[in-house]
Amino acid sequence: MKRFFMSLFIVFLLTTTSSVFGQEKKVEFDKNFSHVVYFWLKNPDSTKDRKAFEASLKKFLRNSKYAQTNFIGIPAQTPREVVDNSYTYSLILSFPSKEIQDKYQEEEAHLAFIEEASPLWKKVLVYDSVGIN
Give the CA count within 13 Å in the CB-facing half-sphere of 57.
21
DSSP secondary structure of 21-61: GT-PPPPPPPSSEEEEEEEEESSTT-HHHHHHHHHHHHHHH
pLDDT tens column, 79-104: 999 999 999 999 999 999 999 999 99
Query: Residue 108 belongs to a domain with what CATH number?
Result: 3.30.70.100
Q: Up-side HSE of residue 21: CA atoms within 13 Å toward CB?
A: 6
Does residue 78 carry a pLDDT above 60? yes
71 occurs within a structural domain: yes
pLDDT of residue 16 exceeding 90: no
Q: Is the pLDDT of residue 14 over 70?
A: no
The reported pLDDT for the residue numbered 21 is: 46
The answer to the question of residue 39 being in a domain is: yes
Domain limits at 97? 30-130
Q: Report if residue 19 sits inside a domain.
A: no
Number of domains in the chain: 1
Helix axes 47-63, 108-117, angle to 10 degrees: 170
- Mean pLDDT, rounded, for 106-121: 97
